Structure 1
Amino acid sequence: MSVLASQELATVDWTAPWLAPYVAMGQGAATQVGAGASSAQALNAASASQAPLVQFVPQSDLPAGEAYESYIFHSGCCPTREGLHDFFNGLAWLQFPQTKRRLNQLHVAQIAQTGIQPVRGPARDGLTVFDENAAFLQAPDALWDALAAKDWQRLFVDLRPLWAQAHLVIFGHALMEKLVSPRKAITAHVYRAQVAIDSIANLDAWMAADLSADKLAAKPFAHLPVLGVPGWWPANEDPAFYDDASVFRLPKQVLHVGDLPVPS
């Protein structure tokens, strides 16, 4: 057991709204780590009631020189370090197994095409951003349009009642890790879910079918400071919360030739 992992997991607030999809398995697994289990052991125990798509193994099982994604694809084993990052990655595998498997398949297909490059290409970059920092939003068109336009006043103040019809689900394990210590600036890459989020299983199945390398290479994300979501942070009950332009940034302006100053 890693003392560091146990100490880090002890700081997780499992009542946080963004962890709602993960609390049942996550809190139990965290308790096992606190009692002496490794993260891999605890995650395997949490998945014992289902037919998991991967088994969690210590990071040391990853053969030297083999790519992480390739090893998962060929072995069905997910190397797991001690700490919050890989613990949350494991929870994502347990809650979104089809989506995680699809991402793994897409990574391996890209590796087969281009090999391991010093700099990821657009597809692998998009896959990584999605895996690490994505959130899924099912919402009325008016909310999505305001989010895409970064019209924060409309999104969070004028249309605030519409959030009762929206569902936001955190997926990225790095995003979950950052939210253990909430800060106003923490921002998700939001992927629009074109399906009713009536269950995580339905969302998982739809997402796995929808994802493609070309789609993710185009970075189809909207940027959302997640603590601005109504009900997710007490301070955002005050409309002035959204006046912080360092967090709720205006969209970049596109300059046209006619907008440029005329030389004197």
Structure 2
Amino acid sequence: MSAGFADIDWARPWLAPIEPRGKRWQAAALTGYADYLATLNEDASAAALFTGRGRPLAFIAQEELPAGASYEGHIAQTGRVPTRHNLHDFFNGSMWFAYPRIKAVLNARQAEQIDERGIGPTRGGVRDGLTLFDENAVLFACADAALADSLRGFQWRALFIDQRAAWGTRCEARIFGHALLEKLVAPYKACTGHAWIVDVPADYFTLDDAGRRALIDERIAQSVLDAPLDSRAFAPLPVLGVPGWWGANASPDFYDDVSVFRPGRRNR
């Protein structure tokens, strides 16, 4: 089924980095599952992408995943990404192209954990952290430590109102988590991502979109390679609070909703 693909609104600012390829994928997905997979594989072949263990990337139908095989382990070993005909896997595939180094590192670390611990009823702390990143991360690129401190400290007024002019010149947010992107096809105020903060030089903000993505893809991939990943490594970020992402947040009153913009334990 192609239900949901027609609902993607490419005017949403958080989709801008994946729009050109995404529109072609959307058209193929609306035509049918086979056309969709063929389009993904044409792009994968042209981009020469690789998995966490250096296998050339390709996309296969979900039913081709062998019985009993782990999803991440299969990708690492074979290079083939089981892909359903739905929005969740649509955005997952998009991230392999937008941030290939980060995706490869996440896959490699997942596969290592599976090799060491096997597949059990629970993932374990490291795999939970890797999954959280993959599903719900927001990449917060920042050239001003005070802004990063405001995010970590739940200082929403400082981050979104007092320093509003800093967005796009000293900090920015980029959505990476494919489950979060799926939710944002039908946005609601409480949509919250897990922000991974990455320091960038001031001239990062003079680069075009491709240059910015390449820089943070490399930096974050390196930081995720050895990082202890758990919920404490992230900072919650209500994504519709990002200036320019939602019309209603032009009013300072938007941020007074403490059910969304919570004070947090660190402030209390």
| Structure 1 counterpart of 2:186 | 181
Segments ≥4 residues shifted beyond 4 Å: none
Cα distance change on mapping 1:236 and 1:177 into 2, 3 Å? same
Q: Does structure 2 retain, via aligned residues, the 8 Å contact 1:96–1:204?
A: yes
| Structure 2 counterpart of 1:31 | 27
**Within 5 Å, which residues of 2 pair with 1:106-121?**
106-121=109-124
Distance in 2 between the 1:217 and 1:252 partners? 17
Instruction: Write out per-residue CA displacement over residues 215-257 of structure 1, whole angstroms, 9 at most, x where no aligned residue.
Output: 21363101000000000000000100001111011112699xx
Q: What amino acid maps onto 1:125 in structure 2?
A: D
| Structure 1 counterpart of 2:243 | 230
1:204 equivalent in alignment to 2:193: no
1:93 equivalent in alignment to 2:103: no
Instruction: Provide TM-score, normalisation by structure 2.
Output: 0.88
| Structure 2 counterpart of 1:243 | 256
Say which of 60, 64, 68 aligns to 1:61: 64
Q: Does structure 2 retain, via aligned residues, the 8 Å contact 1:127–1:213?
A: no
User: How many pairs are equivalent?
Assistant: 251
Q: Does structure 2 retain, via aligned residues, the 8 Å contact 1:126–1:219?
A: no
| Structure 1 counterpart of 2:232 | 219
Instruction: Write out per-residue CA displacement over residues 190-230 of structure 1, whole angstroms, 9 at most, x where no aligned residue.
Output: 00122355421222122222213542136310100000000
Give the structure with higher Rg (CA): 1
Matched residue of 2:122: which SS?
coil
Q: CA deviation at 1:168?
A: 1.2
Distance in 1 between the 2:123 and 2:227 partners? 14
Matched residue of 2:7: which SS?
coil
| Structure 1 counterpart of 2:42 | 45
1:18 equivalent in alignment to 2:14: yes
Q: Which has the higher helix share?
A: 2
1:137 equivalent in alignment to 2:150: no
Q: What amino acid maps onto 2:49 in structure 1?
A: P
| Structure 1 counterpart of 2:164 | 160
Moved more, 25-34 or 190-199: 190-199
Q: CA deviation at 1:32?
A: 1.5
Q: Does structure 2 retain, via aligned residues, the 8 Å contact 1:28–1:46?
A: no
Q: What amino acid maps onto 2:261 in structure 1?
A: F
Distance in 2 between the 1:218 and 1:178 partners? 20
Instruction: Write out per-residue CA displacement over residues 52-75 of structure 1, whole angstroms, 9 at most, x where no aligned residue.
Output: 221000001100001111100111
Q: Does structure 1 retain, via aligned residues, the 8 Å contact 2:153–2:267?
A: no
Distance in 1 between the 2:267 and 2:96 partners? 40
Unaligned runs of 5+ in 2: 51-56
Say which of 134, 146, 149 aligns to 2:150: 146
Matched residue of 2:150: which SS?
helix
Moved more, 154-163 or 66-75: 154-163
| Structure 2 counterpart of 1:191 | 196
Unaligned runs of 5+ in 1: 256-264
| Structure 2 counterpart of 1:260 | none
Say which of 132, 144, 169 aligns to 2:174: 169
Aligned residues: CA RMSD? 1.7
